[in-house]
Amino acid sequence: MAERLTLYTATRNSAGERVRIALNLKGLDWAFVSVPDMDKAEFARINPQLLMPALDVDGIVIVQSGAILDYVERRWPTPALLSEDPILRAQALAFGQYVAAEMHAVTITRNANFLENEMGVDEAGVTLWLQHWNTLGFSVLEDTLARRPANWTFCFGDNPGWADLHLIPQLRNGRRFGCDLSAFPRLLAVESACSALAPFKAASPENMPGFQ
Ligand SMILES: N[C@@H](CCC(=O)N[C@@H](CS)C(=O)NCC(=O)O)C(=O)O
């Protein structure tokens, strides 16, 4: 019997969108639970980190998008999110880790709120922070794609995978922060290829229940 999968997320939860894309690429059925509509204490019982996403698998909760993605990839190996080639696999993992740790983690809302509310940084300063780390990050990712041995449709191959599902939500964040993305044609080409695919479309914020 198939596992029951419940994803605790929010419409604009970009770490959660990574997982939503992965679940959709694997063709899995999963249920959306909106964390902002939950009582905080109730969510703390599910995920003491109080971060989205969290994936409930038949009553067992897995947290942190990287760990969830690893679980999903091992449990449902096809279609693969990662190449069997150890080098391409490592490169895709590094790309995803760069997005998650060097771009997303330093620019999430709670950090921006801390700068503003606890450290007295004004709105322009917070915007500068958000744009700086994202624009720097996108230029690193663009350079990474420029060094590939082939001009694949997706980041590390001709099928979408691990790196792509990290990139797409982060590009949306970049736009929200007012970053100029025009200097990153390779990233935009990957985005355009992903945007045409149903698993990516179905995972995007505007297609989540209760989107406004
Ligand atoms: N490293 C975590 C990041 C999770 C994360 O930062 N999620 C944000 C939304 S994208 C969140 O839950 N924010 C709520 C808060 O900070 O209170 C992961 O990859 O799962």
**Alpha-carbon gap, residue 200 to 186, rounded angstroms:** 18
The DSSP 8-state label assigned to residue 26 in this structure reads T
| pTM for the whole structure | 0.97
Closest atom, ligand 1, to C-alpha of 10:
9
Beta-bridged to residue 5, according to DSSP, are: 57
Cα–Cα nearest to 166, from 183, 154, 177: 154
Query: Ligand 1, from 51, 115, 168: best to mutate by most atoms within 8 Å of Cβ?
Result: 51
Helix axes 109-117, 123-146, angle to 10 degrees: 150
Give the residues of the chain that fall short of pLDDT 50: none
Per residue in 42-78, pLDDT tens? 999 999 999 999 999 999 999 999 999 999 999 999 9
**Does any ligand 1 atom lie closer than 6 A to the CB of residue 65?**
yes
C-alpha 107 chain-centroid distance: 13
Atom of ligand 1 at shortest distance to CA of 13? 10
153 lines ligand 1 (CB under 6 A): no
How far apart CA 123 and CA 116 sit, in angstroms, is 7
Is ligand 1 within 6 A of the CB of residue 50?
A: yes
Atom 16 of ligand 1: nearest residue by CA position? 110
Domains of the chain in sequence order: 5-79+201-207 (3.40.30.10), 86-197 (1.20.1050.10)
State residue 212's pLDDT score. Answer: 83
State whether the beta carbon of 52 lies less than 6 angstroms from ligand 1: yes
Ligand 1, closest atom to CA 51? 12
Q: Whose CA is nearest to atom 14 of ligand 1?
A: 51
Dist. CA 51 → ligand 1 center (Å): 4
Q: What is the pLDDT of residue 178?
A: 98
